[in-house]
């Protein structure tokens, strides 16, 4: 049996050892790898939080039935609760790290919205009392200016105007921007003056003066005084009704005297002297005073039917017309410079 060379045996043994070492290394590697692959990875821990709060009014009392909405960036994050007794509400399972907002609504109160709320892991967020303010009500008031009502109030005030608190001074307007009179108001004002007790007393005084000078040419005595009283009353009534109500209604003119009260004496005097000839129309424009002139002329013509025969004629008509117009001029000047200071308005006499 031949012997292997010593060097060959040594190399063979070394090769065996190397193979065994390699096998052992692979075996160890496989044994270590297998357990490593079977071990589970680390788990992500998520611990939800809670949001707790109370909805109150400004007095600190709980608001029951308020709607509280928790909203997140996702639609699925939206949740809603209704406050219970004492206004308490609570949200469980709120995700940490997510920005939320809380919105509170309740009837009669202004809506309340919180700033962004982000919870930490397991955090309990206490909002405390959420005070709700009363809702502001926007009320729109539509104011309608009623010119008829305004004119009615103006006439009521004018019907209280009296010289020295006694003599009626109803046909003067101290308001330069007075509303135009309706037909109804024109007739009411004329009747108010006609039946006033002081007016009737004035008719009696004029009748007495006419009795003294025997004009018109009625007989003397009580019967003559009665006729003169009736004629004087008829003169005044027809004049005021035609010139102060009928014609102003038909011609749309204002029968009142509009007190100027300021400016130079010359301008005020001119205003008064022209008043029987120029009047304000219902449209606010100045125009010929057909109403006043027509009333004086018509009253004088009607008087021609009931005056005694000796006092009738064209002279009576135009004489009375001129007299009536002259009296109106004098009355206007007195209104502008004297009677305005003596007329009781608003419970006192102007100028005192």
**149-208 pLDDT, tens per residue?**
999 999 999 999 999 999 999 999 999 889 999 999 999 999 999 999 999 999 999 999
User: At residue 78, what are phi and psi to the nearest 5 degrees?
Assistant: -80, 125
133-149 mean pLDDT: 75
The most confident of 1-10, 35-44, 113-122, 290-299, by mean pLDDT: 290-299
Quote the mean pLDDT of the chain: 84
Kindly report the number of other CB atoms within 10 A of residue 80's CB atom.
12
Length of the chain equals: 352
* pLDDT one-digit tens code per residue, 14-64: 444 445 444 444 444 444 444 444 444 454 556 898 999 999 998 888 999
* pLDDT one-digit tens code per residue, 62-108: 999 999 999 988 888 899 999 988 899 999 989 998 999 999 999 88
User: Could you tell me the residue ranges of all domains in the chain?
Assistant: 49-131, 147-349
pLDDT of residue 242: 96
Whether residue 278 contacts residue 291, with contact meaning beta carbons closer than 8 Å, is answered with no
On the question of pLDDT at 344 being above 50, the answer is yes
The architecture CATH gives domain 49-131: Sandwich (2.60)
Q: How far apart are CA 40 and CA 98, in angstroms?
A: 28
> Using CA of residue 220, residue 223, residue 229, residue 232, what is the dihedral sign?
negative
Residue 176: strand, helix, or coil: coil
Residue 155: which of 138, 175, 137 has the closest Cα?
175
Kindly report the number of other CB atoms within 10 A of residue 275's CB atom.
23
């Amino acid at each position: 049996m031949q012997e292997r060379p010593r060097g060959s045996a040594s190399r063979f043994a070394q090769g065996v050892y190397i193979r065994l070492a390699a096998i052992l290394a692979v075996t160890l590697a496989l044994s270590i790898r297998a357990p490593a692959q079977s071990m589970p990875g680390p788990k992500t821990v998520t611990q939800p939080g809670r949001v707790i709060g109370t909805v109150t009014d400004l007095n600190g009392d709980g608001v029951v039935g308020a709607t509280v909405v928790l909203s997140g960036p996702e639609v699925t994050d939206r949740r809603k609760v209704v406050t219970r007794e004492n206004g308490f509400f609570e949200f469980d399972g709120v995700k940490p790290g997510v920005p939320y907002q809380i919105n509170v609504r309740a009837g009669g109160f202004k809506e309340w919205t919180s700033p962004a709320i982000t919870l930490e892991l397991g955090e309990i967020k206490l909002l405390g009392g959420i005070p709700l303010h009363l809702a502001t009500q926007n009320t729109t008031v539509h104011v309608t200016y009623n010119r008829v009502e305004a004119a009615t109030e103006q006439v009521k005030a004018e019907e209280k105007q009296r010289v020295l608190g006694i003599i009626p001074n109803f046909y003067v307007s101290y308001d330069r921007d007075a509303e135009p009179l309706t037909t109804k108001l024109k007739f009411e004002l004329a009747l108010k003056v006609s039946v006033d007790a002081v007016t009737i007393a004035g008719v009696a005084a004029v009748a007495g003066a006419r009795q003294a000078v025997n004009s018109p040419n009625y007989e003397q005595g009580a019967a003559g005084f009665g006729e003169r009283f009736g004629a004087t009353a008829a003169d005044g009534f027809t004049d005021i009704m035609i010139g102060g109500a009928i014609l102003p209604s038909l011609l749309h003119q204002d029968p009142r005297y509009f007190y100027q009260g300021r400016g130079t004496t010359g301008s005020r005097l001119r205003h008064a002297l022209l008043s029987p000839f120029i009047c304000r129309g219902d449209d606010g424009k100045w125009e010929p005073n057909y109403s006043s002139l027509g009333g004086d002329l018509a009253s004088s013509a009607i008087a021609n039917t009931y005056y005694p025969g000796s006092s009738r004629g064209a002279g009576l008509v135009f004489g009375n017309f001129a007299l009536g117009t002259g009296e109106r001029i004098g009355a206007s000047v007195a209104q502008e410079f004297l009677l305005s200071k003596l007329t009781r308005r608003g419970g006192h006499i102007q100028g005192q």
